[in-house]
Amino acid sequence: MNPPTSQMPACQDVALNQFSIFRCLKMFTASPPKWLRPASEYVPLAIFFAAFYAGGKDLITATAAFMTAVFIVSAALLIWRQKPPAMFIVTTAIVLIFGALTLWFDDERFIKMKPTIVQGLFAFSLITGLLLKKPLLKLLLGSAWSLEDRGWQILSFRYAVFFIFMAALNEIVWRNVSTELWLNFKIFGIVILTFLFTTFQIPLFSRYKAADKKNN
């Protein structure tokens, strides 16, 4: 039995709306924007920093905004079918766990300890990779940096020591300075120190650069 003609326009509207939704989803999943990857790293931090000052220097409010930003960025990566790096997944999980603890107990110490836990996990992962003779940095950055195996081992060890240092430094800073100073250290200090440390590794890159494969 055919539906009444009065219902046909409504059915057509529903079909058109569904078609539009599918077209939008296809657009999102077809070609992810180039800014998505950098944004996934820096936008949540920028929102964390801005929310802290906009909320009257309240770290609890900033944490809630930070968690929301991380969740949105993670959802965007999934929508555009971008496979997040393993470290991004681990870091996101830690952010959500310690952020939730901060909000639940109304205690900012949890979010302040988060960098310590992240840096400590990075160091532990690198040391474990060295003990297993499978440098983790080579697995993560092998496509970007071309080094001999000895170079990867030295670089992994140096970064492990650096992450241990950064974990200890974060503990010293958040336990001895104001929340505002700690936040500036987290946003700017960690980035600057990491950049300087990586810059000092340039001689190692030059010394242990893998020879280009020659075509036969």
Q: Specify the pLDDT at position 14.
A: 38
State pTM to two decimals: 0.73
Token digits of residue 30: 């077809």
| DSSP of 72-136 | HHHHHHHHTT----HHHHHHHHHHHHHHHHHHHHT-THHHHHHHHHHHHHHHHHHHHHHHTT--H
Question: pLDDT confidence of 18, banded at 50, 70, 90?
Answer: very low
Query: Among residues of the chain, what percentage have pLDDT more than 70?
Result: 72
Question: pLDDT confidence of 212, banded at 50, 70, 90?
Answer: low
Mean pLDDT of 95-114: 89
Q: Is the pLDDT of residue 116 over 90?
A: yes
Mean pLDDT of 102-128: 91
Digit-coded pLDDT (tens) for 131-143: 988 888 777 766 5
- Can you tell me the distance from the alpha carbon of 167 to that of 116, in angstroms, rounded to the nearest whole number? 4
